[in-house]
Amino acid sequence: MDLEGTQFTHEMIAIGAIKVDIRKDGSVKKIHKGMYTLVKAKNRIGKVVTDLTGITEANLRENGVPFRVALEMLKKYMGREFSKCLFVTFGNHDFRIIAQSHAHNLDVKKEDVEMIIKHQFDFADFANNYVKDEKNNNLSLANMLKVFNIDFEGTQHNALADTLNLVYLYDAFIKNREILKNEYRKTLGMYRHLPQPIHLAIERLANKENVTAEEFEKYVDDSLE
């Protein structure tokens, strides 16, 4: 799932969702046709968000639905799986958008909002434990896809396109274990919050070098100087 929100009040202005069936081993079994709708906000979109997403006030007036209707559409799309699924996003801001939208639309069932927030999973927070850039920074969705040699499909910051590419990234994590392993090795070598002896040992191991017990003992001695 991916949401776009207003610049200042963080109300939902677009939602994209794709239902994905997962096998017991975690691999993707089926990608269903997605759902997408614009959502009317109580406050203005903001120029930064309009420039980023291309969504204008006129778009929302002409094609947007109330937040309540958007959630009803999501529930209908999910069907019986609504109360049992995991809502996966790239980043945690989407769930702030859900909460803020509810705060501006109290006609929405509180239990529906709580259901989504309770069953959230931030894939970015998970993925960035394993894959970083060369300066140890977190990667965007598009740049993380590049790590797995996947080009972003569609337009970035379109809620449905972002959702589809998140599915592709999840699938790549499952299928491309060798790439993931190599990236994780590099990420481990960049950890800076570890004690110095452990950091030095892991840095060498990440570069496929051997570390003997005697060398590790020297790292410990040096750190105590």
Give the domain ranges of the chain.
2-176, 191-223
Confidence at residue 160, expressed as pLDDT on a 0 to 100 scale: 98
- What's the DSSP call for residue 4? E
Confidence at residue 225, expressed as pLDDT on a 0 to 100 scale: 77
Question: Would you give per-residue pLDDT tens digits along the chain (225 residues)?
Answer: 999 999 999 999 999 999 999 999 999 999 999 999 999 999 999 999 999 999 999 999 999 999 999 999 999 999 999 999 999 999 999 999 999 999 999 999 999 999 999 999 999 999 999 999 999 999 999 999 999 999 999 999 999 999 999 999 999 999 999 999 999 988 888 887 888 898 899 889 888 899 999 999 999 999 877
Confidence at residue 96, expressed as pLDDT on a 0 to 100 scale: 95
Fold of domain 2-176 = Nucleotidyltransferase; domain 5 (3.30.420)
Instruction: Classify burial at 150, counting beta carbons within 10 Å of its beta carbon; exposed 0-12, middle 13-18, buried 19 or more.
Output: middle
Confidence at residue 189, expressed as pLDDT on a 0 to 100 scale: 84
Residues 6+ apart with CB under 8 A from 37: 14, 15, 64, 65, 70, 73
Confidence at residue 223, expressed as pLDDT on a 0 to 100 scale: 86
**Residue with the two structure tokens 């960049």:** 190
Phi, psi of 39 (to 5 degrees): -130, 130
Helices and strands (DSSP H and E) totals, the chain? 11, 7
Confidence at residue 194, expressed as pLDDT on a 0 to 100 scale: 85
Confidence at residue 188, expressed as pLDDT on a 0 to 100 scale: 84
Beta carbons of 29 and 21 less than 8 angstroms apart: yes
In this structure, which amino acid lies at residue 155?
Answer: T
